[in-house]
Amino acid sequence: MKPTLFLLAAGMGSRYGGLKQLDGLGPNGETIMDYSIYDAIQAGFGKIVWVIRKDFEEQFRTQILSKYEHKVPCELCFQALDALPEGFSVPEGRVKPWGTNHAVLMGKDVIKEPFCVINCDDFYGRDAFMQIGKFLANLPEGSKNEYAMVGFRCCNTLSENGSVARGVCAYNEKRHLTDVVERTEILRQADKGNAICFKDEQGEWQPLDENVPVSMNMWGFTPDYFDYSEAYFKEFLSDPKNMENLKAEFFIPLMVNKLINDGTATCEVLDTTSKWFGVTYAADRQATVDRIQQLVDEGVYPNKLF
């Protein structure tokens, strides 16, 4: 069964007024998302699903969905603040939805096959899609509890214009994920021989291996993941501190960490040679445009994608 690509796009049209995700960076106005979808199709994915906000549906169908519908089966699902399990209600004053794993939960009714979750505004690269596509396509039918994430080499995920936040991953001898630690400031330090460093909890800079795998929110799951997420979301909402904190979020790593620590599931860390890039800072935009043009010039992508 061909895997599905599941794009987290519920932030589109809100934080950036749609501009960041719809910014034309390719030679014919292609967005970063266009390249992800093109790469996924090349890697054997058979369906594209987006999770968006309901109030953005009409604009999304006109501006975005119309480009892909004739190329590959497409589906939409919707993340809403009040999409909660029975018996729970939105705390007074809460305005923001419940995070990335809540967004993933919205796909339960439309995704019945192995699937890859990505952000819509990160450039992941062809090899990354090939690695996760191969993993998902090779799972035996009916597989459960065997997941994966693409572990980008840290040196391939930095910005020249400032620090980045990355989930630094540890794994065992089977390359099964054992831990993800969010490091909010990672960059090259000129005074430390241009070594990659991260700022620790005490505010001290510590060295980080060039090739240590980091999470860029590119995950591979099977549909049983929805059931675990549904059950754990109820636990999350039952914790008073998560209801009192109006910005508490139900993140994918939170769910994955629980499943691997419980021994319920494994998550293989897949290596990739892909170089991530994106527009973390305004100054990153031109470098991203130039990098895409270079890939077009090298023949990795056609001049016009769709």
Reading the block at residue 214, the tokens are: 């980091």
Q: Is the pLDDT of residue 282 over 80?
A: no
Cβ within 8 Å of residue 237, ≥6 positions away: 84, 85, 88, 243
Report the range out of 48-62, 138-152, 183-197 with the highest average pLDDT. 138-152
Does the pLDDT at position 164 exceed 60? yes
Of the candidates 288, 284, 130, 147, the one whose C-alpha atom is nearest the C-alpha of residue 225 is 147
- Distance between CA atoms of residues 43 and 127, nearest Å: 9
- CA dist 268 and 30 (Å) reads 32
pLDDT by residue (tens digit) across 167-208? 999 999 999 999 988 898 999 998 888 999 999 999 999 999
Q: What's the pLDDT score for residue 18? A: 46
Kindly report whether the global pTM for this prediction surpasses the value 0.75: yes
pLDDT at 291 over 90: yes
pLDDT given for residue 20 in this prediction: 59
**Mean predicted confidence (pLDDT) in 19-26:** 74
Mean pLDDT of the chain: 92
pLDDT value at 59 more than 90: no
